[in-house]
Each structure stands twice: as C-alpha cells, then as structure tokens.
Structure 1
Amino acid sequence: MSGRARFPTSVYGHGTEPDARFTLANERTFLAWIRTALALLAGGVALELLGLELHQGLRLAASLVLVIAGIVTPVLAWFGWGRAERAMRLAQPLPSSPLGAVLGVAVSLAGLLLLLAILLR
C-alpha cells in the first residue's frame, strides 16, 4: 500500500490487511443492503404516487415506513460494514447485524398497514 491514508481511518487504521476475498465479500454485502434500501425507497414512493384506492392515512403511513426504512438501511449498512471490516483486520469474530431485524419489523409493519388499508377501503 502507498503512504496515503485510506478512508475511513477508523476502520483501516487498525490491525492488518485481511484476505482480499473477505474484504470484497464484506463490500458486496454492503452493496446488497444499498440495493435493498433503493427498493424500499422506490416501493414507498410508488405506493404513494400511484394513488391506489386505499385508506389514505394508512397508505401514507405504509409509504412513510418504507421510505424511512430506505433511509435508515444505508446508515446501518455503513456501520455494519465498518464493524465487520475492523473485526477482520483484528482477527476477531464477526459482529452481528441489526439490519435483518430492523427491516423485518419495518416491512411487516408496512404490510400490516397495507392490509388494514385494503380492508378499510
């Protein structure tokens, strides 16, 4: 590696360089969460813009849940990527990620709101 500092130093400033395959797998996981966030944002926007004949308040609430989940996902993914990369550099066990649980709750809540919106139309 050259003498230039790598970003973020909070990750790359620790330990030794792990096998590139593991670093690249960690990056692919991060990018998968980014794709998930884009899908959540698109779903939330589409749900509201399509103007489906559903209960307006519940439809808006479901849209907001999806959009908020789409905003929160990349932030949590970034911190998860950093924790995993740092753990690999320090030869520590990989940390767990809260993203699965957070998205599970968000999507379930949005689905429940949509179910109620359909039943109350």
Structure 2
Amino acid sequence: MRQGTTRGPRRFPASVYTEGSEPDARFSFANERTFLAWIRTSLALIAGGVALESLGLRLQPDLRLAASLLLIVSGVAVPVHAWFHWARSERALRREEPLPSPFLSVPLGIVVAVIGVLVALAVLLR
C-alpha cells in the first residue's frame, strides 16, 4: 500500500525524496542494502590493492603495482556508482517506474578479470 508524500523533516537528498510518493519500506530497505553491498565491495577492492602492494609479495613489481592501482581506483569509483545507482533506484521506486540496471557491473567484472590476469602474470614472471 502506498502512502502520500510525507510532510515531515527534510530528507537528504531532496532531489530524490521530493519525487513521487513513498514506496513500500521493504523496497527502500532493499535498495539501501544494495548500496551497502557496493560499499563493502569498495572496501574489499581498496583493501586488496593496499594488501597486494604493501605485503611485499615476491611478484613481478610492475604488474603487482598495476594490479594494486587498478584495485584501489576501482574501489574509489564504486561508491560513486553506488550513490548514483541508489538515487536512480529510489526515484524509480517513488515514481513506480522500472528499476534501472547498474551500469558499473559489467565494467567492474572486466576490471576484476584484468586484475586477475595481472596477478597471474606477476606470479609467473617473478
């Protein structure tokens, strides 16, 4: 059951919460859990990049550095994507429109595959 637009304290970001009407709370909570999952992914990518470079593993140094930098840069990009995807999804829920697809999923998968290849080469070429 949908409710009308609430007149209460201002919510951030207004560009999301001033549109449409309140969706079922379960859907908003699911959207928030997805946002938090992207944040956990970001933290894992950054931690992996830092660990790969700082643990002093005996890997080919240039390939290890490239993989570390890709992990860290990806980890910095993911929260930006998470924020915009959360806002787009919340707006779609409030407007009763189809949910948008996450535009970073495929590129992130490709980057992780490239990182895997770099680390494998770094192991083989040490």
For 1:35 and 1:64, the matched residues in 2 are separated by 18
Report SS of the residue matched to 2:92. helix
* Per-residue deviation, 1:53: 0.6
2:31 corresponds to 1:31? no
Say which of 40, 44, 61 aligns to 1:56. Answer: 61
Provide the C-alpha distance between the structure 2 equivalents of 1:3 and 1:92, rounded to a whole number of angstroms.
Answer: 24
2:9 counterpart residue number: 4
Counterpart amino acid of 1:7?
F
Q: Which residue of 2 aligns with 1:94?
A: 99
Whichever residue aligns with residue 102 of structure 1, its letter is P
Distance 1:102 1:77 in 2: 14
How many Å separate the matches in 1 of 2:15 and 2:114? 35
Identity %: 62
Q: Which residue of 2 aligns with 1:42?
A: 47
Which aligned runs of 4 or more in structure 1 are off by greater than 3 angstroms?
Answer: none
Deviations 1:16-38 (A, max 9, x none): 00000000000000001100100
5+ residue gaps in structure 1?
Answer: none
TM-score norm. by structure 2 comes to 0.92
CA distance in 2 between partners of 1:63 and 1:56 (Å)? 10
**For each residue in 1:59-94, what CA deviation from the matched residue of structure 2 results, as whole angstroms up to 9, or x when unmatched?**
000000000110000100100000000000000000
RMSD between aligned residues: 1.0
**Consecutive unaligned residues in structure 2, runs of 5 or more:** 1-5
**Corresponding residue pairs, total:** 121
In 2, Cα distance between the equivalents of 1:21 and 1:99? 24
Q: Give the Cα separation in 1 of the matches to 2:18 and 2:65.
A: 44
Counterpart AA for 1:82 = A
The alignment's TM-score, normalised by the length of structure 1, stands at 0.96
CA distance in 1, matches of 2:41, 2:13: 23
